Amino acid sequence: MARTPAAPKTPVKTPVKTAPKTAAPKERPMPVNPPSAPSKELHVFPNPAPERDYVIQFQIPEFTCHCPLTGQPDFAHFVIDMVADKLCVELKSLKMYMWSFRNEGAFHEKVTNDILGKIVATTNPRYARITARWYVRGGIYTNVIAEHRKRGWKGDAVVPTPQLPHATGL
């Protein structure tokens, strides 16, 4: 008896379970002033104790700019000491201001004095000093210290300079 070929078996399809469709997550709209963008603007707030002299110290260990001659990056640790008069520098704006130098070419002496000038022009402090400790470049460490005293300020005759250890790689 001749066998007839069997009909090919068709695989049974099992339904694939899919997750229920959900709406795509909404992206937060970009703020008008993005929080992480460099800015040449410094913001201020009223000094909470203008009746007394007290030192505000900011430490900025990751300052960067570029050498205007070679284009190589320069790195510095900035310490800003100030005795505010009527206005104080707002921290976030100081951070964004310092960040704004990242892609600029500037000599160490110029950028240090420019930053002091901006702080003085914006806050009119009784006293301000910037100590910029520049990392080694060509085998030389550079420290630039710039000061401002408000005319007529009767604060300490000498505001102590931070004691800087000998540079060994900062």
Report the b/e string of 61-82 with b at 16+ CB within 10 A: eebebbeeeeeeebebbbbbbb
> Does 67 participate in catalysis according to the annotation?
yes
| List 67, 81, 114, 156, catalytic entry | 67
Dihedral over Cα of 26, 29, 30, 36: its sign: negative
Say whether 88 is catalytic.
Answer: no
Among residues 74, 81, 88, 114, which one is catalytic?
74
56, 32, 28: which is closest to 125 by C-alpha? 56
Catalytic residue set: 67, 74
